[in-house]
Amino acid sequence: MIELGGYTPLSTVDWPGRLAAVAFVQGCPWRCAYCHNAVLQQRGPGAGPSWTQVLRVLERRAGLLDGVVFSGGEPTLAPRLDAAVAQVRSLGLGAALHTAGIYPQRLQALLPSLAWVGFDLKTGFADYDALTLRRSSGLRARRALELVLASGVAHEIRTTYHPAWVSDQALVETARSLKALGAGAWVLQRWWPRATDDAALVGGWRWPDASVLQALRIAGPPLTLR
Ligand code: SF4
């Protein structure tokens, strides 16, 4: 079925406005420099419970939850994620997905079964490869985002921001791309340090200058800072 690196029985933040369990799928082919879940990058068995164990818990708690969020890692890496989503829905629960859009075709097949998508938009599409350390990652993300926007599935598009990883120019390019693709909203979420991050990186965090934020508001869809 799917390999899990972790499981959270109740979250109020991973699917906005919903009470959800969160299944962290093991494995991600990208290597973003700021990844908070690096322990989930490696493919193979994770440190989490088995999917069968999770299903048993969900069967008992179904009436207490709105749904299950599949997060990661990159959940669409799991070839049988579709079956896990179907099992969740058979319990009367909604299924939501956190994704960076790494596997557009798998995402396309899943979208009709999903109630919500949290789309992790890294940076301007032209700047993706330097951030993810993987070739053609921007092309994949663009295709995946197009699919989400065309699907009609409720979603949130969010970009984690630190000036060390996302330049002002990349921000403006991202805003323009989102508007051109028809996105209705965009969240810029602040970067939070990990215990391993050095003082220069931690001290270098700041929101973009007011002039840049103004440019984003003109060039892109309605913007929220979080
Ligand atoms: S896509 Fe997400 S899980 Fe994968 S390396 Fe980047 S931040 Fe980490």
Please state the domain extents for the chain: 4-225
Nearest partner of 95 among 77, 83, 103, 105, judged by Cα? 83
* Tokens coding 171: 């921000």
Mutate which of 25, 30, 77, 98 for ligand 1 pocket (most atoms within 8 A of beta carbon) = 30
Integer Cα distance of 37 and 33 in angstroms = 11
Among 22, 32, 131, say which to mutate for ligand 1: greatest number of ligand atoms within 8 Å of CB: 32
Instruction: Spell out the per-residue pLDDT of the chain, length 226, in tens.
Output: 799 999 999 999 999 999 999 999 999 999 998 899 899 999 999 999 999 999 999 999 989 999 999 999 999 999 999 999 999 999 999 999 999 999 999 999 999 999 999 999 999 999 999 999 999 999 999 999 999 999 999 999 999 999 999 999 999 999 999 999 999 999 999 999 988 899 999 999 999 999 999 999 999 999 999 9
Distance CA 200, CA 77 (A): 34
Per-residue confidence (pLDDT) for residue 33, from 0 to 100: 87
* Cα 87 to middle of ligand 1, angstroms: 26
Residue 124 CA, chain-centre distance (Å), reads 16
> Are the C-beta atoms of 120 and 98 separated by less than 8 Å?
yes
Helices (H), the chain: 51-61, 81-90, 104-110, 128-132, 137-151, 168-181, 199-203, 210-219
Counting atoms of ligand 1 from 1, which one is nearest the CA of 100? 1
Ligand 1: distance of its center to the CA of 132 in Å?
Answer: 8
CATH number for the region 4-225 comes to: 3.20.20.70
Nearest CA to ligand 1 atom 7: 35
Q: Residue 7 is which amino acid? A: Y
Q: Exposure pattern of 169-195 as b/e (b: 16+ CB <10 Å)?
A: ebbbbbbbbbeeeebeebbbeebeeee
Does residue 124 have a cis bond before it (omega within 30 degrees)?
no
How many Å lie between the centroid of ligand 1 and the Cα of residue 63? Answer: 32
| Cα 169 to ligand 1 centroid, rounded to whole Å | 22
Would residue 145 be called left, alpha or beta, if left means φ above 0 and alpha means ψ between -120 and 50 degrees? Answer: alpha
Query: What is the Å distance from ligand 1's center to 60 Cα?
Result: 31
pLDDT at 94 (0 to 100): 98
Q: How far is CA 198 from CA 32, 34, 128, 184, in A?
A: 16, 12, 23, 36
> Sheet holding 186-190: strands in order across?
4-11, 20-25, 67-72, 94-99, 116-120, 154-161, 186-190, 223-225
Tokens describing residue 35: 């990844």
